[in-house]
């Protein structure tokens, strides 16, 4: 089935976003009063949790591409390979 969501956390109808994970507390994001709690974290509402996970994924992609370029040669001396593993 085609999905417009790239990741399950972005889909409000994913079982991981079901109300059974709601903690009864509001989301910790300032100004957001949506119910907190997903299978991924008890602290954020579905929207802010997805936003947070996508941001982390973007950072990991940048690190990954930096390491790939480093292995190509240009950055070799500046890179700590253990950190990129």
What does each C-alpha distance from 11 to 4, 32, 51, 78, 82 come to in angstroms?
A: 8, 19, 12, 39, 35
Stretch 25-54 residues interacting with Zn ion (CB under 5 A): 27, 29, 32, 34, 45, 48
Minimum CB distance to Zn ion smaller for 32 or for 79: 32
Q: What is the DSSP string of 13-43?
A: TSGGGSGGG--SSBPSSTT--SBP--SS-SS
Provide the minimum distance between the beta carbon of 66 and Zn ion in the complex, in angstroms, as a whole number.
Answer: 30
Provide the minimum distance between the beta carbon of 44 and Zn ion in the complex, in angstroms, as a whole number.
Answer: 6
Minimum CB distance to Zn ion smaller for 32 or for 67: 32
- 35 - beta bridge partners? 26
Provide the minimum distance between the beta carbon of 30 and Zn ion in the complex, in angstroms, as a whole number.
Answer: 9
| Residues that bind Zn ion in the complex, under the rule CB under 5 A | 27, 29, 32, 34, 45, 48
């Amino acid at each position: 089935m085609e999905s417009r969501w790239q990741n399950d956390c972005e889909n409000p109808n994913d079982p991981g976003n079901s109300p059974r994970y709601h903690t009864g507390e509001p989301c910790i994001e300032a100004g957001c009063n949506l119910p907190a709690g997903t299978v991924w974290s008890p602290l954020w509402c579905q929207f802010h949790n997805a936003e947070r996970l996508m941001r982390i994924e973007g950072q990991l992609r940048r690190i990954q591409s930096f390491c790939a370029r480093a292995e190509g040669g240009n950055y070799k001396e500046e890179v700590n390979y253990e950190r990129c593993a």
